[in-house]
Structure 1
Amino acid sequence: MTCEPGSGYPLTNNLMSEDKLPLQDLKAICVPAPGYHPNYNPTLPFCEPIPRGLRVGMSVYVQGVAFKNMQRFVVNFALGPDPVAHDIAFHFNPRFDGWNKVIFNSRLSGQWGQEEELKRIPFKNGEHFEVLVTVTEQHYKVLVNGNLFYEYGHRTPIQNITHLYVDGDMTLQSVNFLGSYFSSSEGPGVDLQSPVNLPAMEGPPVFNPPVPFLQKLQGGMVTHRTIIIRGFIPLSAKRFHINFNVGTTGQIALHINPRMDEKAVVRNSFQNGVWGSEERSISYNPFGPGKYFDLSIRASTYHFKVFANGQHVFDYKHRVLATMVDILEIGGDVTLSYVQV
């Protein structure tokens, strides 16, 4: 078996005029933020090229649900598209089949090296999990469910790694490649998103930030700027909010208020000391107790465009100039996995 490119967000080459497109075309446009390459609900085995290759500072995020009878699964950083024939730089292998341990290893020149193991399992059968692997100069830093789990030293140059392979006893919900954005100064043909001319992100994602969360948005929500918010809604959650604030005036340009107690997603703006009229119509509701969500919120010329888990949820016409927004605020009954601005 070899890897075939899969699908993440549908792309478009005509974003500069997106507000002039028909409504059905507008709803189809969902472009990831620079350096953010998601795959939603991929089939197993998952085998995909790593966008532009692996490098220091990048992270790979795997989210899934363990089978109730889970025995093993693997996450491999491979040196080619064939998981059998090609070498593996990083092998992450939880084993529940009577061993209850996690194995780390590398296969180089066709031979497995010395195993490194932890005799504890951070996963539970039948439950959600999140694995984040961040590449540093010295090692792969592995976090499970937001907690540091292990650091595995490099045994071969990361520049040789080309593919990610995931398989085993689980339902794979999403795979995200984070931090693979390059500026145009690195050379022609490097930036796959250059036709869009997307504004650069301010920095790397913030992982597992506390709530309430506040983040300055330098430069405002200029056209095509995208904010990524991934989180989990506790079973006891009733409401949380995401606000795009104007710090100098106290206005809220966009208030997104998922209300689990009402099974609604309310949108509004706060101007001149009063709330405006609520908007509640929605294509589908991605928020519910016990659910993970992955939001992409992007400013277009006339609207905020909001996608959840790769699907269009709603548009919100600007009532306050988006360029005036300078603060992102998140609060309420939510646990954040990461935020990227």
Structure 2
Amino acid sequence: MAYVAPPGYQSAFNPPIPYCTVIAGGLRVGMVVCVQATLPSNYNRFAINFTTGQEDTSDTAFHMNVRYDGRDRCVFNTKEGGVWGAEEMKRDVPFKSGKIFMIMYEVTCNNYQVFANGAPYYEYGHRIPLAQVNTLQVAGDICVQHLSIVSNGPPVKGGLILSVAQSNLLPVFAPHNVNGTVPFTSPISGGMIPRRSVIMKGMVKSRAKSFTINFKVGFTNDVALHLNARLSKKTVVRNSFINGTWGEEETALAKNPFKEGEYFEISVRSGEKHFEVFVNGSHCFNFAHRLFNLQQVDKLEVDGDVNIMFVVI
């Protein structure tokens, strides 16, 4: 079963480098871009660019260039009309060889807020209007494991071009939550009705024992889907809690996708008969509905030994 991202969420696993993609609907305030990557065995520098087009002559609204040359640094700049502006620089480079790292950009009305491995790293003020920015580029000495572009609401005028598979899914409308604290709770507006997806990017803590993700009925505390990743036992337990009683556990999995100290992306999609759960772009399991009024399943809870980068509903 192939993973299809819902409208408003772009996802690429292990893309070839250099990589270039159009940002569906253009870059807008409230959007988040997330790059999970490692460095290759031989590395000198890499760049991540937000540009006004895919051509070599396009303006670069935000250029982030990480350089390893004995004077390790991160350079930020803008190229407009073929001319580079004044450089900004940060000496601390937290993207190390042999380690998976995460670079996340949150777009605000004033700047690009850059996070490194979940911590605030830099703020770069807009020099080119966001309305002109529509392309993301990644180049240089970097191995991207996962890249995601998270929308913040309905598409702009004119709509988006969707695949047939995407046209059968509800778009992402609700605001995302960036670097949410755990325990984490969020409403699911309208409930987990068929064709709706909830997506979470997180990291399992080192020496983690377990974490849980619950899809609940807010006013009764019934749990339509309880996912309990037990790292110490290398298993993922699924269950429901209805009318004060736990149901029958399900544990069968071809492979446990969660590992200590590693990032993951989990997508939970509601279907007519079951929840479809994908981890890191691969189908993980289905869980047959035991609560059938899906509109009442209106609350998401996350707890345990996990850090959250963002949640999209």
1:252 aligns with 2:223: yes
Residues 1:86 and 1:191: Cα distance change in structure 2 (over 3 Å): closer
Deviation at 1:274, TM superposition (A): 2.3
Residue type of the alignment partner of 1:192: L
Q: 1:289 aligns with which of 260, 263, 269?
A: 260
Q: Deviations over 1:81-113 (max 9, x none)?
A: 24x443322110111211121100112221221
| Aligned-pair CA distance for 1:311 | 1.2
Residue in 2 that maps onto 1:21: none
Deviates more, 1:282-291 or 1:102-111: 282-291
Name which of 251, 268, 276 aligns with 2:247: 276
Pick aligned residue for 2:131 from 159, 170, 175: 159
- State the partner residue of 2:91: 119
Specify the alignment match of 1:175 in structure 2: 147
**Residue identity opposite 2:88 in structure 1:** E
Do structure 1's residue 214 and structure 2's residue 174 form an aligned pair? no
- Aligned mate of 1:192, from 143, 162, 186: 162
Q: How far did 1:160 drift? A: 2.5
Aligned residues: 311
CA contact (8 A) 1:34 1:193 kept: no
The alpha-carbon distance between structure 1 residues 233 and 147, as it changes in their structure 2 partners (threshold 3 A), is same
* Structure 2 residue 21 is matched with structure 1 residue 51: no
**Mapped partners of 1:144, 1:60: distance in 2:** 12
Deviation at 1:237, TM superposition (A): 0.8
CA distance in 1, matches of 2:218, 2:159: 39
Q: CA deviation at 1:295?
A: 0.7
Does 1:109 find its partner at 2:81? yes
The code of the aligned residue for 1:105 comes to N
Q: Does 1:149 align with 2:126?
A: no
Q: Deviations over 1:140-169 (max 9, x none)?
A: 221211222222122222232232111222
How big is the shift at 1:201? 4.0
Q: Separation in 1 of the partners of 2:272 and 2:250?
A: 19
Contact 1:133/1:143 (8 A) holds in 2: yes
Identity of aligned residues (%): 42
Normalised by the size of structure 2, how large is the TM-score?
0.91
Q: Contact between 1:52 and 1:180, CA under 8 Å: does it hold in 2? A: no
Match of 1:37 in 2: 10
Which residue number corresponds to residue 65 of structure 2?
93
Amino acid at match of 1:34: P
CA contact (8 A) 1:46 1:165 kept: yes
Matched, 1:223 2:194: yes
Return the offset for 1:303.
0.5
Q: 1:77 & 1:187 partners in 2: Cα distance?
A: 21
1:52 and 1:326 map into 2 onto residues whose CA distance is 28
1:80 aligns with 2:53: yes
CA RMSD of aligned residues (A): 2.1
Note closer, same or farther for the CA distance 1:202–1:158 as it changes in structure 2 (3 Å cut).
closer
Distance 2:182 2:271 in 1: 28
Structure 2: gaps of 5 or more residues: none
Deviation of 1:306 after TM superposition, in Å, equals 0.6
Provide the residue aligned with 1:9 in structure 2.
Answer: none
Q: Could you tell me which residue of structure 1 aligns to residue 284 of structure 2? A: 313
